[in-house]
Amino acid sequence: MSLLLPLILTIVIEVLVLTALRECRRKVLLACVLMNVLTNVPLNAYVQYVDNSAMTICVGELLVFLIEAVCYRLAANDWRTAMTYSSLCNAVSYFTGVLIFGIFVILI
pLDDT per residue over 39-60, tens digit each? 999 999 999 999 988 899 999 9
**pLDDT for the residue 14:** 98
0.85 surpassed by pTM? yes
How far is the C-alpha of 11 from the C-alpha of 38, rounded, in Å?
Answer: 12
**Residue 108 pLDDT exceeds 70:** no
Q: Percent of the chain having pLDDT more than 70?
A: 94
**Residue 105 pLDDT exceeds 70:** no
How far is the C-alpha of 63 from the C-alpha of 65, rounded, in Å?
Answer: 5
How far is the C-alpha of 73 from the C-alpha of 96, rounded, in Å?
Answer: 25
**Quick one: which of 46, 95, 87, 51 has its CA closest to 69?**
87
Convert the pLDDT of each residue in 25-40 to its tens digit.
Answer: 999 999 999 999 999 9
